[in-house]
Amino acid sequence: MNKVNIGLIQHSCSDSVGKNFDKVLGMIASAAKKGAKIIATQELFKSRYFCQHESYELFKLAEPVSEKAAVVKALSSLAKKYKVVIVASLFEKQAEGVYYNTTAVLDADGKYLGKYRKMHIPDDPQFYEKFYFAPGDLGYQVFKTKYADIGVLICWDQWYPEAARLTALKGAQIIFYPTAIGWLPADKAEYGVRQHDSWETIQRAHAIANGCFVAATNRVGYEPNPEKGKEGIEFWGQSFVADPYGTVVKRASVNKEEALIVSVDLDVIASKRVQWPFLRDRRIDSYSALYKRFDNEK
């Protein structure tokens, strides 16, 4: 047995970045005291999900993400103090006009291991991310932490089997998905159950296909639409961890703030991958058309 406790920090956000940040620092400390060793935030945890509308003003929420950045230093101190790995989703400013949806990884001794920049950027009504974020340019990555080799993908990436596969092939034992997904009130009654089920199902499938763990952290709470007279988003929570068979080991509530702490046995990866040796039989000679957007033209 090679057990590790994952901690997923699911919470609501107010319009005060300072208060949100303090709350999450507190929740991380509390989860650490309860035994969590690798702790992941939800997507863009410091603020409300500002991509609900397009506003030039909101770029001021972005900040540098590097070893020397203030936010990284604060998280690093916390990681070191509690001997925990922290996976933190941030709004990154690289330069004037160059912004990313980024996740930083701090090791259990406080060391900054690097960052992942969201590769697949959505753009849908109330999820106007192409306005805010340049597509990630760092590729798929694995961070060798004290407790496990972990990959990080972010929200919309979760709909792409290619992203999960490439991260698993780098050696990820657990793939983390900081997320901000919810229901538009007009859709919820008719499509709500199905939308959530699609979301959980495809991530469970990444665990099955790759023989690794998947851990998704999502936010909770209703966030109003800044545009007058329009409805906001009800984030659906339900952060979860799936094992290499795609079984949901544990799932958080729909609407409560909580640190979901989940014990997983990394040795299951080895047994699963020999029982169902999918990686062995990949037809790597036949995948070239994955380079194409679509493939129905002669």
Give the nearer residue to a second copy in terms of CB position, either 83 or 120.
120
Cβ–Cβ < 8 Å for 219, 12:
yes
Q: How far is the CB of 193 from a second copy (least distance, A)?
A: 9
Of 23, 37, 115, 118, which one is the catalytic site residue? 118
Q: What one-letter code names the amino acid at 80?
A: K
- In angstroms, the Cα distances linking 202 to 123, 141, 208, 245, 267 are 20, 20, 10, 13, 23
Indicate if 170 belongs to the active site.
Answer: no
Strand order in the sheet with 112-117: 112-117, 98-106, 85-95, 38-41, 3-10, 258-265
Give the nearer residue to a second copy in terms of CB position, either 31 or 142.
142
**H-assigned helices in the chain:** 17-33, 70-82, 129-132, 161-169, 185-210, 267-275
Give the nearer residue to a second copy in terms of CB position, either 22 or 267.
267
Of 23, 43, 93, 200, which one is the catalytic site residue? 43
Q: How far is the CB of 127 from a second copy (least distance, A)?
A: 11
Q: Which residues bind a second copy (CB under 8 A)?
A: 119-124, 135, 139-140, 142, 156, 159-163, 165-166, 169-171, 194-195, 197-198, 201-202, 204-206, 208-209, 245-247, 275-279, 281-284, 286-296
Indicate if 115 belongs to the active site.
Answer: no
Give the nearer residue to a second copy in terms of CB position, either 7 or 136.
136
Indicate if 43 belongs to the active site.
Answer: yes
Q: How far is the CB of 152 from a second copy (least distance, A)?
A: 15
Cβ contacts of 237 within 8 Å, gap of 6 or more: 10, 218, 219, 220, 252, 253, 254, 255, 256
Q: How far is the CB of 233 from a second copy (least distance, A)?
A: 15
Residues that are catalytic: 43, 118, 155
